[in-house]
Amino acid sequence: MKNRVVILGASGFIGRRVVQAVSRLDGVQAVAVSRHASAVPFAPGVEVADADVSTAEALEGAVSGAAGIVNCIAGSPDLIVAASKRLFDAAARMPSPPRVVHMSSLAAYGSVTGRIDESLVLRGDSDAYSAAKAETDRLASNYRNGVALRPGIVYGPGSGWWSDRIARLLVRGRLGDLGDRGRGFCNLVYVDDVADAVVRALNLEEGRLGPFNLSLSIPITWNDYFAQYGAALGVPPRSVSGLRLAVETRVLAPPLKLLEILLRTPGLARANPLPPLRPWLPAMCSHDIRMDVTRAERILGMHWTPLSTGLRMTADWFLAGGRTVH
Amino acid sequence: MIVTSDELTDEMAADVAVCIVGGGAAGITLACELDECGHKVLLLEAGSLKPSAETQDYYNGIAHAPHPAANEFRRVALGGTTSIWGGRCVPFDPIDFEPRDYVSNSGWPISYEEIARYYPRALEYCDAGKFDFTAAGSISGGGPTIAGLEPNDVIERDLIERYSLPTDFGRRYGGILRMSRNVITVLRARCIGLEKAVGEDRIEAVKIAAASGRSRVIRSAFVVLAMGGIECARLLMASDPRGVGYGNRTDRLGRFYASHLETSFGRLVPHGAKVAFDFEKTDDGVYCRRKFQFLPSAQRRHRLLNTAFRLHFPEYSDASHGSSVMSAIYLAKSFLIPEYQNILQQDPAHATSSPAPAHWRNVMSGLPNLARFGFDWVFKRHLATRKLPYTLVPNADGSYPLEFNCEQTPLESSRITLADDLDAHGMRRVRIDWRRSDSDLLAAQRAFLLLRETLGQSGACRLEFDDGVLVERLSRSAPVGGHHIGTTRMAFSSSGGVVDTNCAIFDFPNVCIASSSVFPTGSHANPTLTIVAVALRLASHLRTRLSSE
């Protein structure tokens, strides 16, 4: 009989790639669980279950008999915390506690600066999301068969913020070289590398568990990311002045955000031509934070998709009118 | 952190574990790899963030045509020569590492795999995509280089070379250096000497000349020389008060200096078949071009040097190419930097130089093409992040000149020595005595003849050239600018070279060299990618040594 690996939050951007990677493993039955999993065209052979794991019964039902669980649950901070708590409780009560690979985030570190490795205390002090990520990351560490993965900025086909939104801003000339404001490191990781890390974490021997940072090992600044992504999209490079950035984030962002919310209502155009440039983006682009991925390379044996390869695939997806997954 | 030599405090300069001399492709790669290694690393760069006439003067010296002038094709600045490089990334081949009985002084003391395992990461540093140099594996639906050219036992048909952005290492990795807590990058810190510990086979300190002109001594447990193929040898020679040269116990230092031989010759005429001539983009979005090579078995059978052929564009100076773009570039050549002017006039003695009116006629009759080129130049090159590497204009008559590029047989007599002239810091300038073996001409001749025979038999195309002038033309093939190979070659023992298989100097095990100067032979490949791979390999070696000491 095949080992069941249950992916929670399977229809999300990362969840889908994880399902795909897990379904290719020999002797493993991938089980894709999310509220609307049956609406997603998963590969043949994947077992699909529609379940709202924010309720205890649904969650326990979904994970019973699993040899491995991948937690990609997304949603509001409260939901992430509540669902993850139930998940780790349920897993601990199972006869043989399954391996749980928990999708944490760079956000869990919060306001830390400089080079960060996994030994740093998670501050989780940036916002509610950051706090939720830090709290659930700790749940994973306290669970005896848990592995937390802390990806940086996950980009790739399907990524709403980091690939689609950035591409639209680049194409419209609203984003580019930010000068000093763009000199922070952008800890990019390609979505397939995250899925690969999940597979490796599922197979990791006990005793070597623990959290892993996931990011390109040769870091790139936000300015360089915008320049290289722009090049892949065929956009001439452009500088964005401080004044323009201030106008974008302080004056234009609120009405554009409102427009975005309005356009989301059914019956209106799906693709918003004018995405807002959120105020936190410039702050993030100058934040000096660099992930140390030595542990992921040594213990998980990670190899990272070269940036040009990842950006090419992302740009091709975007230029072909690719859809994002939330 | 990045500081200038005048801001370098004694505290910063104390307890240095590794002192890297030279902030170019090799030094920056090494510094990035040693970031957060738990030891203090100093990266000394003679120049500033940008090249200047004052610092560039360090490179003046004596060299004779056809070798470029000593200060050409290299730059003093953070990032080194990567601020002007063309970006061509080509790996060495397994055969380059074999001792070949028909190439004297050939053979590396390490295997191909020892370098090749670092190529994927080196390609990342160069922003040149994945480690795959086949057209089939890199370009979906790319088609053959020459349609109808069937597989044979002589040439590898569908290989590519990849192109970097071209990545300027100083700009691209300056952020990592600025942010590093353990790597201190010191600008305007020119190393002018190595100081030997009395009674020990060890270099205990490096002497630098600071921007203010003051000199100071920095002690370090390990020293890495990463100043390029000419300067590494120069510093070792100039540092030794006895005049022998450090690391020169067996008189290998500065010798075996090689570049690549390059010339454009012949006409390849496709028989109506489609030819992949222009730049293409790989699936990972990297510019690439096609090239031919000889299979290793054919190289051994015909005693050939490792050679690459590319389809070339006609000579700029000869207006019969009929191209408005090339004529315009030719007429505007005085605006180009000297290195590019050299490239336009590859063979001044033989090239047909049409008078200016002939070029003006081309320009006037091809204005639409020129406008399109102007547009491409602005948007695909000048403004682009990933730049179109150079302009390719096919010949009006559908034939292609052939660009030939091969390694040189390493020669003891081809060498770098010190001249008597002193530079601003009192360092003796270099004298470059580049030579080439006559046997290389014969090997190149065999290569052209074999290629003509093989292509002729294929039926897909033919290669035409005048046998009578072949050797003469080859004899004037120029050494490619900026490829400085072999002056501190790697060997099994000090009788064969200057550094061991870990790039450490035999006489001074605490000094390592990260440069193309350690390459025993040079392949046909441009050296930068392999320089970065060698630096990565050295980084992993140093990390092991640092953790064990």
Determine whether the interchain pair B128/A183 forms a contact, defined as Cβ–Cβ distance below 8 Å. Answer: no
More confident of the two residues B273 and A87: A87
User: Mutating which of B385, B386, B544 best tests the A interface, going by the most A Cβ atoms within 10 A?
Assistant: B385
What one-character-per-residue DSSP string does B459-470 give?
A: SSEEEE--HHHH
Residues of A in contact with B286 (CB under 8 A): 308
pLDDT digits (tens, 9 = 90+) for B223-278: 999 999 999 999 999 999 999 999 999 999 999 999 999 998 999 999 987 899 99
Minimal CA separation from B129 to chain A, in Å:
5
Q: What are phi and psi of B91, to 5 degrees?
A: -80, 160
Q: Is the pLDDT confidence value at A269 over 50?
A: no
Which pTM value belongs to this model? 0.86
B168 touches chain A (CB under 8 A): no
Residues of B in contact with A186 (CB under 8 A): none
Interface of B with A in 248-307 (CB under 8 A): 282-286
Across the interface, of B35, B130, B165, the residue whose CB is closest to A306 is B130
Angle, CA of A47, A49 and A50, to the nearest 5°? 155
Q: Is the pLDDT confidence value at A274 over 80?
A: no
Residues of A in contact with B172 (CB under 8 A): 224
Average pLDDT, chain A: 89
Q: Residue B229, by phi and psi: left (phi above 0), alpha (psi -120 to 50) or beta? A: alpha
What one-character-per-residue DSSP string does B240-299 give?
A: -TTSS-TT-TTS-TT-S-B--EEEEEEEEEESS--B--S-EE-TTS-EEEEEEEE-HHHH
A191 touches chain B (CB under 8 A): no
B386 touches chain A (CB under 8 A): yes
Distance CA A73, CA B270 (A): 59
User: Mutating which of A112, A215, A218, A313 best tests the B interface, going by the most B Cβ atoms within 10 A?
Assistant: A218
Tracing tokens 């048909």 back to the chain, one arrives at B157
Distance CA B197, CA B14 (A): 17
Minimal CA separation from A171 to chain B, in Å:
14
Across the interface, of A114, A290, A306, the residue whose CB is closest to B284 is A306
Determine whether the interchain pair A309/B284 forms a contact, defined as Cβ–Cβ distance below 8 Å. Answer: yes
User: Mutating which of B119, B123, B127 best tests the A interface, going by the most A Cβ atoms within 10 A?
Assistant: B127
Residues of A in contact with B32 (CB under 8 A): 218
- Beta-carbon contacts of residue A300 (< 8 Å; ≥ 6 apart): A197, A200, A201, A204, A212
pLDDT digits (tens, 9 = 90+) for B5-26: 999 999 999 999 999 999 999 9
pLDDT digits (tens, 9 = 90+) for B151-178: 899 999 889 999 999 999 999 999 999 9
Q: Torsion angle of alpha carbons A156, A161, A162, A163, nearest 10°?
A: 50
Tokens of B209: 């000349």
Return the DSSP state at A305: P
Tracing tokens 């379940």 back to the chain, one arrives at A51
Residues of B in contact with A311 (CB under 8 A): 285
Q: What are phi and psi of B465, to 5 degrees?
A: -160, 165
Residue B543 exposed, middle or buried by CB count within 10 Å (0-12, 13-18, 19+): middle
Count the residues in chain B: 549
Residues of B in contact with A114 (CB under 8 A): 179, 181
Determine whether the interchain pair B179/A228 forms a contact, defined as Cβ–Cβ distance below 8 Å. Answer: no
The whole-number pLDDT of residue B142 equals: 81
pLDDT digits (tens, 9 = 90+) for B377-410: 888 888 888 898 887 888 878 899 999 999 999 9
Q: What are phi and psi of B79, to 5 degrees?
A: 105, -20
Minimal CA separation from A295 to chain B, in Å:
13
Alpha helices in B109-149 (DSSP H): 112-116, 119-125, 135-138
Tracing tokens 């010759």 back to the chain, one arrives at B265
Q: What are phi and psi of A101, to 5 degrees?
A: -100, 115
Sign of CA dihedral A223, A226, A232, A234: negative
The count of other CB atoms within 10 Å of the CB of residue B71 is 18
Tokens of A265: 């209502």
A182 touches chain B (CB under 8 A): no
The whole-number pLDDT of residue A265 equals: 62
Going along chain A from its start, the domains and CATH numbers come out as: 3-156+189-218+290-305 (3.40.50.720)
The whole-number pLDDT of residue A248 equals: 82
Minimal CA separation from A211 to chain B, in Å:
19
Angle, CA of A58, A61 and A63, to the nearest 5°? 110
Minimal CA separation from B33 to chain A, in Å:
9
Rounded to an integer, what is the distance from CA A277 to the centroid of its chain?
A: 20
Tokens of B481: 């600018």
Instruction: Give chain A's largest Cα–Cα span.
Output: 63
Q: Residue B382, by phi and psi: left (phi above 0), alpha (psi -120 to 50) or beta? A: alpha
Of B46-55, B74-83, B355-364, least confident by mean pLDDT is B355-364
Minimal CA separation from B515 to chain A, in Å:
21
Distance CA B444, CA B461 (A): 21
Minimal CA separation from A126 to chain B, in Å:
22
Interface of A with B in 157-176 (CB under 8 A): none
The count of other CB atoms within 10 Å of the CB of residue A317 is 19
CB distance B24 to B82 below 8 Å: yes
pLDDT digits (tens, 9 = 90+) for B318-334: 888 888 888 888 888 77
Q: Per residue, what are the HEC states of B317-345?
A: CCHHHCCHHHHHHHHCHHHCCHHHHHHHC
Residue B438 exposed, middle or buried by CB count within 10 Å (0-12, 13-18, 19+): exposed
The whole-number pLDDT of residue A276 equals: 80
Residue B286 exposed, middle or buried by CB count within 10 Å (0-12, 13-18, 19+): buried
The whole-number pLDDT of residue A1 equals: 66
A284-298 average pLDDT score: 90
Work out the percent of chain B whose per-residue pLDDT is above 90.
75
Across the interface, of B121, B175, B385, the residue whose CB is closest to A221 is B175
A210: nearest Cα among A131, A128, A126, A294: A294
pLDDT digits (tens, 9 = 90+) for A200-210: 999 998 877 88
Give the 3-state secondary structure of residue B134.
strand
Q: Is the pLDDT confidence value at B343 over 70?
A: no
A292 touches chain B (CB under 8 A): yes
Distance CA A94, CA B239 (A): 71
Minimal CA separation from B498 to chain A, in Å:
31
B53 touches chain A (CB under 8 A): no
Minimal CA separation from A314 to chain B, in Å:
10
Determine whether the interchain pair A227/B176 forms a contact, defined as Cβ–Cβ distance below 8 Å. Answer: no
A218 touches chain B (CB under 8 A): yes
B125-142 average pLDDT score: 93
Return the DSSP state at A252: I
Determine whether the interchain pair A311/B127 forms a contact, defined as Cβ–Cβ distance below 8 Å. Answer: no
Determine whether the interchain pair B129/A308 forms a contact, defined as Cβ–Cβ distance below 8 Å. Answer: yes
- Beta-carbon contacts of residue A127 (< 8 Å; ≥ 6 apart): none
The whole-number pLDDT of residue B22 equals: 98
What one-character-per-residue DSSP string does B19-56 give?
A: EEE--SHHHHHHHHHHTTSSS-EEEE-SS-SS--HHHH
Of A99-103, A213-217, A263-267, B499-503, least confident by mean pLDDT is A263-267
Going along chain B from its start, the domains and CATH numbers come out as: 2-84+168-252+418-429+484-548 (3.50.50.60), 320-393 (no CATH)
Q: Is the pLDDT confidence value at B428 over 60?
A: yes
Tokens of B397: 């008559």
Determine whether the interchain pair A307/B124 forms a contact, defined as Cβ–Cβ distance below 8 Å. Answer: yes
The whole-number pLDDT of residue B464 equals: 95
The count of other CB atoms within 10 Å of the CB of residue A324 is 16
Alpha helices in chain A (DSSP H): 13-23, 56-63, 77-93, 128-142, 166-171, 191-202, 222-233, 242-246, 253-264, 280-286, 294-295, 307-319
Distance CA B331, CA B357 (A): 10
Distance CA A72, CA B10 (A): 51
pLDDT digits (tens, 9 = 90+) for A11-56: 999 999 999 999 999 999 999 999 988 889 999 999 999 988 888 8
